[in-house]
């Protein structure tokens, strides 16, 4: 059996099962063997029937004496069997599995693994795993792997196929990890690790196998990151910008505020990059409202002074519009013309500086002398999309400088792994005047009191409020979760009939959204009912309250982003988190926002509680979907990083590794 053989050609699989396996990202033998269990059932306690105790999870071995279907008066089917060993008999019960009559044969010897329970006044075994008694066991009498499943594919089916594959590989799997690295990091050889992650003799050896594959994942990620860094530096020379200090001073003096020391430090780092022959490849990270846009504006201004063009791409039309308006205010007085390109505005007036959405990727514009590309909220764009944008430069042109920005705080472990090819700048200081937003979790019994308080704040203090709902329309499966359209109608009619309400959501046309936002800016709307479409790109300083419905449905970083819509002026600002949870882990998670106002701390907590995929949408955006490794394992991550740096210096000595990086990179780009 060859590693790359398609699953459709495997014994007893064929096209129908191959289609189901694709949902688990299993396409060939290698994918199958790398489909790892996420936990194990411990069926290793083998007991005689006379010795079993209620509550135990055990394996018994005996002769099947009887098996029948029993039909209840409600139409349900119960399967009852009697099994006997040399010490006694026990009844076994399954529910709604009538096919067992044709699978299990009276008089045969089987192993059964499951929980012992009371039924009436006698012991029974309930819904156990089963297999015919044999020397080498797969489903019973051992640590039994439990796998990620999909419709029509069970863990039992996967166990059977994986056990068969491990036996029938034509030759041992070639290990691409260098011997020196395995020895230095105490890692199992790949064939030993494969056997012991799927069918371990103990939890200890299972953990050793998992460590091998976790290290391998992080090591390969680091190699690919380092390769991206090398490839970037091999590209054509960038535009080496001349830095006109006098004009930069004029830019600063034209601002209505003084930059923070953190902004000034970051500006110097970017100026240093722009004056180099090597293209900049920098990530600018800063909390909500820390002032990243003004830093981007300075970079654009320097590009313009050097007669090259700039592009700024944002993930949403609202954010693109916000950047467009901000850059116009900052740069047009200095003579810079700003154009906007979105799906609803396809003919920008200017192309010296273009602000836009994904429309920039698909518009047929080709920018000669493209000197600078800026991507905001970069974790929402895939690797392939960024490549498309960089191709906008004309043939034979130099490589543009690249600045990516994010307001989503990235824990150090994520940054080390995903962005090791980028130089990192952090704005870790908030501008003068930014207020700490008072945050409260509001339980169901205090909802009415919160509504009355909200009404008083709006009427007495001329406040304005965002009210965020998770969905646009009511969900059939999640009817208790508030939806913006329905909530807008209810609040306007029953709760706030004397206030002016507005509605904003992602399905509205661009012009409708802008009209609603403009009314809100002009104080013609008191309370704006909206979806998370306002998470980024909305700057309405007079808004002082944000209410978030179904707060438990959002991650901490996203809640912090939403909270950043208020607290933008000198007035005291508030964030109310409505939730039906009043205890437990979910409640404690959102309660953290009452005490923590720093995005980085919340991001670390979010990562710990929910995992990177949920927090950052990593698998959806062309990054790395880790199967066994954890971004929280800093020690293993740093070991993998150190090993990758050592290997990359002499990568030509490791052809197997070179091939592995190439193969995985192609998979990543295709998936994106």
Do 417 and 255 contact (CB within 8 A), yes or no?
no
CATH of the domain at 107: 2.40.50.140
Q: Is the pTM of this model over 0.75?
A: no
Low-confidence ranges of the chain (pLDDT < 70): 1, 235-236, 350, 362-364, 366, 378-396, 409, 412-413, 416, 433, 474-481, 537, 610-625, 664-672
- Indicate whether 411 and 353 sit together in one domain: yes
- Indicate whether 387 and 476 sit together in one domain: no
Q: Are strands 143-146 and 39-42 parallel, antiparallel or unpaired?
A: antiparallel
Q: Using H for helix, E for strand and C for coil, what is the string for 296-323?
A: HHHHHHHHHHCCCEEEEECCCHHHHHHH
User: Using CA of residue 253, residue 256, residue 260, residue 264, what is the dihedral sign?
Assistant: negative
**Residue at 454 is within a domain:** yes
Structure confidence at residue 480 (pLDDT): 59
Q: Which domain holds residue 407?
A: 245-427
How many CB atoms neighbour CB 82 within 10 A?
16
Structure tokens at 347: 């003919």
Structure confidence at residue 460 (pLDDT): 85
Domain boundary among 575, 596, 617: 596
Q: Which of 613, 557, 578 is nearest to 414 (CA)?
A: 613
Domain boundary among 596, 627, 657: 596
- Indicate whether 380 and 497 sit together in one domain: no
Assign 118 to helix, strand or coil: strand
Give the C-alpha separation, 501 to 489, whole Å.
9
Structure tokens at 492: 């306007």
**Residue at 632 is within a domain:** no
Strand order in 543-548's β-sheet?
438-442, 574-578, 543-548, 464-468, 527-530, 501-504
Structure confidence at residue 630 (pLDDT): 78
Q: Are strands 122-132 and 423-427 parallel, antiparallel or unpaired?
A: unpaired
| Angle, in degrees to the nearest 10, between helices 203-234 and 655-671 | 80
Q: Which of 188, 320, 264 is nearest to 311 (CA)?
A: 320
- Indicate whether 289 and 405 sit together in one domain: yes
Give 14-54 as a DSSP string.
HHHHHHHHHTTT--BHHHHHT---SEEEE---B--GGG--T
Give the C-alpha separation, 303 to 327, whole Å.
14
Q: Using H for helix, E for strand and C for coil, what is the string for 267-279?
A: HHHHHHHHCCCCC
φ, ψ (nearest 5 deg) of residue 510: -55, -45
Q: Which of 239, 273, 230 is nearest to 403 (CA)?
A: 273
**Residue at 127 is within a domain:** yes
**Where do the H-state alpha helices sit in 554-633?**
556-563, 584-595, 599-610, 612-616
CATH of the domain at 266: 3.40.50.300
- Indicate whether 162 and 63 sit together in one domain: no
**Residue at 220 is within a domain:** no
Give the C-alpha separation, 382 to 392, whole Å.
16
Structure confidence at residue 669 (pLDDT): 44
Assign 119 to helix, strand or coil: strand
Give the C-alpha separation, 468 to 543, whole Å.
13
φ, ψ (nearest 5 deg) of residue 475: -85, 140
Structure confidence at residue 477 (pLDDT): 47
Q: Which of 130, 141, 124, 145 is nearest to 100 (CA)?
A: 130
**Residue at 210 is within a domain:** no
- Indicate whether 258 and 312 sit together in one domain: yes
Domain boundary among 407, 427, 447: 427
**Residue at 270 is within a domain:** yes
Report the chain's terminal Cα–Cα distance, integer Å: 30
- Indicate whether 320 and 448 sit together in one domain: no
- Indicate whether 263 and 303 sit together in one domain: yes
* Non-local CB neighbours of 198 within 8 Å, separated by 6+ positions: 33, 36, 37, 145, 159, 162, 163, 166
Q: Which of 549, 645, 651, 627 is nearest to 25 (CA)?
A: 627
DSSP state of 124: E
Give 394-412 as a DSSP string.
PTTPPBPEEEEEESS---H
Element (H, E) at 660: helix 655-671
* Non-local CB neighbours of 575 within 8 Å, separated by 6+ positions: 437, 438, 439, 440, 545, 546, 547, 548, 562, 563, 566, 593
Do 304 and 352 contact (CB within 8 A), yes or no?
yes
- Indicate whether 97 and 165 sit together in one domain: no
| Angle, in degrees to the nearest 10, between helices 584-595 and 599-610 | 170
- Indicate whether 270 and 322 sit together in one domain: yes
Q: Which of 307, 390, 290 is nearest to 353 (CA)?
A: 307
Q: Using H for helix, E for strand and C for coil, what is the string for 59-111?
A: EEEEEEEEEEEEECCCCCEEEEEEEEECCEEEEEEEECCCCHHHHCCCCCEEE
DSSP state of 650: T
The total domain count for the chain is 4
Give the C-alpha separation, 392 to 400, whole Å.
10
* Non-local CB neighbours of 526 within 8 Å, separated by 6+ positions: 458, 464, 465, 496, 499, 500, 501
Please write the tens of the pLDDT for every residue from 165-198.
999 887 889 999 999 999 999 999 999 999 999 9
**Residue at 402 is within a domain:** yes
- Indicate whether 552 and 458 sit together in one domain: yes
Do 379 and 408 contact (CB within 8 A), yes or no?
yes
- Indicate whether 17 and 103 sit together in one domain: no
**Residue at 160 is within a domain:** yes
Give the C-alpha separation, 324 to 356, whole Å.
8
């Amino acid at each position: 059996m060859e590693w790359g053989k398609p699953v459709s050609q495997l014994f007893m699989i064929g096209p129908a099962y191959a289609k189901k396996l694709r949902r688990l990202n299993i396409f060939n033998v290698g994918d199958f063997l790398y489909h790892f269990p996420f936990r194990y059932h411990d069926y290793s306690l083998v007991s005689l029937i006379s010795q079993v105790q209620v509550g135990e999870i055990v394996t018994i071995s005996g002769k099947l004496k009887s098996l029948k279907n029993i039909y209840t008066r409600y139409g349900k089917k119960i399967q009852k069997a009697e099994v006997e060993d040399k010490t006694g008999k026990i009844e076994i019960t399954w529910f709604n599995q009538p096919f067992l009559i044709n699978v299990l044969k009276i008089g045969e010897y089987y192993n059964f693994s499951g929980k012992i329970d009371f039924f009436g006044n006698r012991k029974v075994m309930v819904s156990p795993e089963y297999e015919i008694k044999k020397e080498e066991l797969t489903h019973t009498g051992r640590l039994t792997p439990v796998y990620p499943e999909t419709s029509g594919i069970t863990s039992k089916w996967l166990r059977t196929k994986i056990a068969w594959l491990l036996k029938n590989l034509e030759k041992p799997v070639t290990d691409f990890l260098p011997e020196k690295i395995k020895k230095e990091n105490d890692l199992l050889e790949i064939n030993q690790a494969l056997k012991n992650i799927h069918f371990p003799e103990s939890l200890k050896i299972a953990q050793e196998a998992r460590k091998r594959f976790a290290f391998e994942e992080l090591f390969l990620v680091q190699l690919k990151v380092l390769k991206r860094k090398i490839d970037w530096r091999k590209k054509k020379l960038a535009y080496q910008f001349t830095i006109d200090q006098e004009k930069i001073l004029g830019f600063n003096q034209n601002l209505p505020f003084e930059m923070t020391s953190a902004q000034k430090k970051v500006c110097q780092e970017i100026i240093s990059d722009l004056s180099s022959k090597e293209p900049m490849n920098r990530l600018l990270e800063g909390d909500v409202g820390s002032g990243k846009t003004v830093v981007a504006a300075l970079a654009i201004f320097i590009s313009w002074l050097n007669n090259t063009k700039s592009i700024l791409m944002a993930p949403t039309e609202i954010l693109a519009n916000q950047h467009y308006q901000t850059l116009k205010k900052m740069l047009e007085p200095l003579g810079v013309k700003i154009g906007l390109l979105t799906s609803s505005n396809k003919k920008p007036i200017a192309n010296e500086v273009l602000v836009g959405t994904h429309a920039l990727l698909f518009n047929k514009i080709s920018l000669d002398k493209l000197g600078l590309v800026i991507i905001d909220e970069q974790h929402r764009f895939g690797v392939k999309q960024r490549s498309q944008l960089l191709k906008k430069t004309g043939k034979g042109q130099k490589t543009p400088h690249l600045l990516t920005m994010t307001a989503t705080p990235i824990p150090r472990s994520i940054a080390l792994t995903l962005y090791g090819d980028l130089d990192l700048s952090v704005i870790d200081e908030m501008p003068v005047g930014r207020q700490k937003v008072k945050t409260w979790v509001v339980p169901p019994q205090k909802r009415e009191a919160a509504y009355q308080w909200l009404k008083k704040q709006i009427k007495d203090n001329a406040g304005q409020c965002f009210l965020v709902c998770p969905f646009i329309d009511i969900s059939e499966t999640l009817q208790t979760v508030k939806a913006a359209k329905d909530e807008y109608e209810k609040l306007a009619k029953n709760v706030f009939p004397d206030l002016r309400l507005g509605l904003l959501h992602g399905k509205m046309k661009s012009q409708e959204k802008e009209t609603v936002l403009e009314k809100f800016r002009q104080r013609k709307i008191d309370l704006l009912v909206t979806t998370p479409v306002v998470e980024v790109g909305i700057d309405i300083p007079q808004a002082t309250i944000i209410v978030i419905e179904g707060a438990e449905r959002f991650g901490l970083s996203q809640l912090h982003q939403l909270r950043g819509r208020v607290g933008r002026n000198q007035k005291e600002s508030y964030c109310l988190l409505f939730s039906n949870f009043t205890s437990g882990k979910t409640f404690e998670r959102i309660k953290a926002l009452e005490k923590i106002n720093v995005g980085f701390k919340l991001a670390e907590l979010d990562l710990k509680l929910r995992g990177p995929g949920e927090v950052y949408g990593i698998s959806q955006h062309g990054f790395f979907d880790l199967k066994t490794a954890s971004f929280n394992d800093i020690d293993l991550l740093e070991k993998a990083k150190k090993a990758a740096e050592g290997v990359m210096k002499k990568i030509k000595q490791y052809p197997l590794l070179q091939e592995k990086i190439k193969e995985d990179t192609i998979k990543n780009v295709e998936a994106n």
